[in-house]
Structure 1
Amino acid sequence: MPLDRIPGEDNIYIGSAFAMGQKKMLDSHNITHILSVLQYTPREKAEIEARPESASRTRIFVDVDDIEEEDLIVHFPRIVRFIDFGLRSKPKADDTEDDESKVDSPQGGGVYVHCAMGKSRSATAVIAYLLWKRPEHFRGDFEGAQRYPPAVAEDAVRRALELVREARPIVEPNPGFMKQLALWWRMGCPASSPDAVERRPAYQRWLYEKDVEESTRIGRAPGRLWFGDEASKEEEEEDRKAEDAAAASAETETARETLNQNVQLRCKVCRRVLADSAFVVPHEPPDNDNSRPRVACNHHFVEPLSWMRPVLELGELEGRLVCPNTRCNAQIGRYSWQGFKCTCRAWVCPAFSLQHSRVDRIVVRSRPNAAATSPSASSGPGVAAESNLFNIRSPPGAKGASKV
């Protein structure tokens, strides 16, 4: 059976492990590079590399299993760089092979990407390459944009999947791999170095969420901690580096001069800023129970923040949250890695709650181009540098701050 070639200019083929024993077929398609996306034992790898036909081809192995929890996205930089290198390599001369028996293909080497069945792992690898190499083909109406909302990322992945299915209709990446491809697109497909994905805050957050899900399933606190305010600083820096020239347009500059509304949660006792709207986790009560009247929420759910580090590092499944101001230490809420139900009947997991009766919700106004400060950087009274920006010392009702 012939190899399945991906439509387009690139000489990429996808299939199963069965083709690995078909030397003549690989030669006829000018396959110079092979990407094996499946688990081999060390003994199997040694046997493959010792075969005579392996000497004429470059091959790498990505040892992953076809399960939703598998971390394949961390290999994407290595995968796409290898495929790109293979496509730019010229086939080695082979005088023993009849040139007329070779399939017509674009100039350059041929890359064969395979897993066990040519259905999930290999398709994910090919899609990751297409999104990285030809992003303009999958942007739809959003061509030229630098960053994409989740729905657009999913649309781009779906378009790339449809292209691969034109070559091999049976391909079907598992749902976990599809989510990783969407994350890869939202990150901008970073592949400048082998660890390009590992260094991205979005990947670290994904690892954290995966660890929380796996840990709470077996009734223990996660071993990996992630703090929203620390990650946001890194993301802001990356956004500045990746900012497009269009961001300097007059419209954008005008928008930067307008005032934005921000909401802060502060300790009722000492007025210490605990979180702002960037770290509040929205939640909605279930709408399938109309027999009971709606109850107001008694909780402000937030992301884990760096001031929670001392208590979260204890490794408990649940516990109390106290004000990080050492002169205050007032109890302000509680947390549970396994989640709990809000008074409005919405379930939040994991749950980091600041109790409504123990914090003040303050509306402040600040300029977007001012240096934003994370909650962990503000220690309440005595921080003069941020008082003008956040009105930390302003009492409720003062200019620039209002208690709601």
Structure 2
Amino acid sequence: MSLYMSEIFEKLYLGGVEAALDTSTLKTCGITHILTIDDRPLSQETTNGFISKYVHGLDLPDTDLLTHMDDCNQFIEEGRDHGGVLVHCLVGASRSATMVIAYTMSKNKMQQEEAVNLVKQKRPIVKVNCGFQEQLKLYEDMGCCVDKTSSIFRQYKLGKLAARVQAGVYKGPLLDELMSEDTKGDTVFKCKKCRLALFKDGALLHHKTGQGESAFDWRGKMAANEKIANETEKKETCKKSLFIEPVKWMKHCTETMDGKLSCPKCSAKIGSFIWYGERCPCGSWVAPAFHIQSSKVDECRRNSTVTVPAAVNSRNTVLPVMTEAGPSGSVLLVDSELT
């Protein structure tokens, strides 16, 4: 249509701020809704006569657009149902394009790359920054729906909070929505000293195996082509260390940049936290790092069922049991009906 505004789908337009300010053209095109993603909203004089929605965001890789994608998708859908909708930022190439791509992925069940190509065919100047590309990939991984309970989204938000803490923008206790309380999982990790249940395996944050010892030696840096090849080869998940999401009992002990983590019941030291991250023994950098020492906790797994011999249980019933890793890797039964 023009450099200022392009029709992506029927009743859905993508453009820059000039398109939003040209209200006569908007009305001619039947546009009734305006979605603004910019550092400032449109003036009330401009939006008078339109239904508008504003999302604050700069065209920077660390700007959070992922959190707003579902709400913006709903607004776009409502706009198309009642007339037409313009999605705009300053130029109509990155921020607003990201929202239109997210809508395209959700509406048409498309993968990120396919949706990007479709939108770029209609508006060639589209160029989404690297941070927004990563957010669109996370959106795809969540099934084109912002699932705030998923580990993908929680780890994403935790990373955003860590960046704010590192920059000195945020100081204070962890936000409640980022604190795990009753995460899913069949394995419970207990304090080895007092047996208090500290977290479940659903709180574990997994990462890919790194470069090993060479990651700790500046003389052992690999060439770029070797690094890419190495990253391609090593796809397995690291099992050397326990890094977890922050849990409720950590809330008031993580206000500094780094510190120790102690059992809330017996005060035994069980790990440490570093907001700016630390390197796992496997070589991968983990940030933020809530690191639990595996030697300070016991891993208790709930098995499905076992048949207890009559000598132990005269009813010979099938009971669920909790097992713990005992000395030398042996398995100990932990169940009230067996003791």
User: TM-score normalised to the size of structure 1?
Assistant: 0.59
Please state whether the residue corresponding to 2:259 is helix, strand or coil.
Answer: strand
In structure 2, the partner of 1:127 is 101
Q: Which has the higher contact order (CA 8 A, sep 6+)?
A: 1
1:289 aligns with 2:282: no
Query: Are the counterparts in 2 of residues 264 and 274 from structure 1 also a CA contact under 8 Å?
Result: yes
Alignment equivalent of 2:162, drawn from 205, 208, 212: 212
Between Structure 1 and Structure 2, the one with more strand by share is 2
* Counterpart pick for 1:5 among 1, 4, 7: 7
Aligned partners of 2:196 and 2:265 also within 8 Å: yes
Question: Equivalent residues in 2 for 1:249-328 (5 A)?
Answer: 265-282=189-206, 284-287=209-212, 289=214, 299-312=241-254, 315-326=255-266
Structure 1 residue matching 2:38: 3-state secondary structure? coil
Match of 1:13, SS? Answer: strand
Contact 1:304 1:352 in 2 (8 A): yes
Q: Decide whether aligned partners of structure 1 residues 127 and 316 sit closer, same or farther in structure 2, where only a CA change above 3 A counts.
A: same
Q: Please tell me whether the aligned partners of residues 37 and 121 of structure 1 are also in contact (alpha carbons under 8 angstroms).
A: yes
Give the CA deviation at 1:27: 4.8
Q: Structure 1: which amino acid aligns with 2:120? A: R
Task: Say if 2:305 is the partner of 1:355.
Answer: no
| C-alpha separation in 1, matches of 2:156 and 2:216 | 37
What do you get for the CA RMSD once the two structures are aligned?
4.0
Q: 1:48 Cα shift?
A: 1.7
Q: CA 1:344 to 1:198, structure 2 compared with 1: closer, same or farther past 3 Å?
A: closer
In structure 2, the partner of 1:148 is none
Residue ranges of structure 2 left out of the alignment (5+ in a row): 218-238, 306-318, 335-339
1:185-232: CA deviations, max 9, x gaps? Answer: 444555xxxxx8778886555333201122124498664346664263
Q: How many residues are aligned here?
A: 295
CA separation of 1:61 and 1:228: change in aligned 2, threshold 3 A: closer
Match of 2:235?
none
- Which residue type is aligned with residue 250 of structure 2? M
For the pair 1:390 / 2:328, whether they are aligned, the reply is no
| Shift, 1:124, TM fit | 1.6
Distance 1:84 1:220, change over 3 A: closer
Secondary structure of 2:273's partner? strand
Once the two structures are TM-superposed, the CA of residue 85 in structure 1 deviates from its matched residue by 2.0
* Structure 1 unmatched runs, 5+: 90-108, 139-155, 191-195, 237-261, 369-386
Deviation at 1:120, TM superposition (A): 1.0
Identity %: 31
Distance 1:34 1:367 in 2: 54
1:69 to 43, 62, 70: 62
Give the distance between the partners of 2:149 and 2:294, measured in 1 at CA: 36
Q: In the alignment, is the contact (CA less than 8 A) between 2:180 and 2:248 conserved in 1?
A: yes
- Match 1:47 to one of 45, 48, 51: 45
Quickly say closer, same or farther: Cα 1:388–1:133, change in 2 above 3 A.
same
CA distance in structure 2 between the aligned counterparts of 1:363 and 1:172, rounded to whole angstroms: 49
Deviation at 1:165, TM superposition (A): 0.6
1:51-105 CA-to-partner distances (Å, cap 9, x unmatched) read xxx54x544443432222323334334422232222222xxxxxxxxxxxxxxxx
Structure 2: distance between partners of 1:182 and 1:345: 25
